[in-house]
Amino acid sequence: MKRLYAAAAQLDPPVRGQSALARALGQSPQTVKNWESRATGVSAAGAHKAQQELGVSSTWVLSAEEPMFVAGAPASVATIATAGDYVRVQQLDAEAGMGGAVENADYPEVIRAIDFEPGYIRSIIGFVPAPGRLRLITGTGDSMQPVIQPGDTVVVDTAVTFFDGDGLYLINMGNGQQIKRLLDRGLVYVASENKSYGDPFPVPEGTVIGGKVYLRNRIERFN
């Protein structure tokens, strides 16, 4: 982290401090704080991001091998690459099971940030939310086929932490994150789209809703 901060301070304009570095890298401040506090320091993914976004050599960050900057390093850093009124949505290094549950880190790192035209966001969730409210995560497993295919990236509205009517949700029933359909049948039921996973069942006590899920199947999937 000392090497990353030192290199960032030499940019024009300089990038100094945890918050400024997080913004420049498209990461959350918590992710940068994690790099500072853990013994292993900056993750390999974080070092790659520093090279990609700032021109700081990942080899320098991880092992102090010079040069500090890669060839063609940028002279300055923009906090946002896309001009105009776009909605920036961060994709997390996190997965949600569609079958078995998936355990993720408490503060998953940001893989990338994607800028969407506001009209597209409005078309899938009905409105344009406040910045930072939407996240992209990847589904694994086949319990939500054919609606969600394994490996599909979905949009999660993290402000919805309650049952907000029938729909797809990111939930945790006590053993990790899953994408499931929640249904109002007098009681709230959990259902899979793939009928081989059995009939709907009442939401177990203690289940946590992490957000409402929306599909992105009108634009290309990520590789």
Instruction: State pLDDT tens for residues 31-45.
Output: 888 999 888 899 988
Instruction: State pLDDT tens for residues 145-176.
Output: 999 988 888 999 999 999 999 999 999 998 88
- Give me the pLDDT at residue 92, please: 79
The domain 87-214 belongs to what CATH superfamily? Answer: Umud Fragment, subunit A (2.10.109.10)
- Give me the pLDDT at residue 67, please: 87
Helix (H, G, I), strand (E, B) or coil at 60: helix
- The residue ranges of the chain whose pLDDT is under 70 are 72-84, 105-108, 110, 217-223
- Give me the pLDDT at residue 97, please: 83
Q: Which amino acid is at 186?
A: G
- Give me the pLDDT at residue 200, please: 95
- Give me the pLDDT at residue 193, please: 94
Cα 47 from chain centroid (whole Å)? 18
Residue ranges of the domains in the chain? 2-63, 87-214
- Give me the pLDDT at residue 217, please: 57
- How far is residue 18's CA from residue 27's CA, in Å, rounded to a whole number? 10
- Give me the pLDDT at residue 129, please: 85
- How far is residue 216's CA from residue 199's CA, in Å, rounded to a whole number? 26
List own/partner pairs for 197-204 with CB under 8 A and 24 or more apart: 197/99, 197/143, 203/171, 203/173, 204/173, 204/174
- Give me the pLDDT at residue 220, please: 41
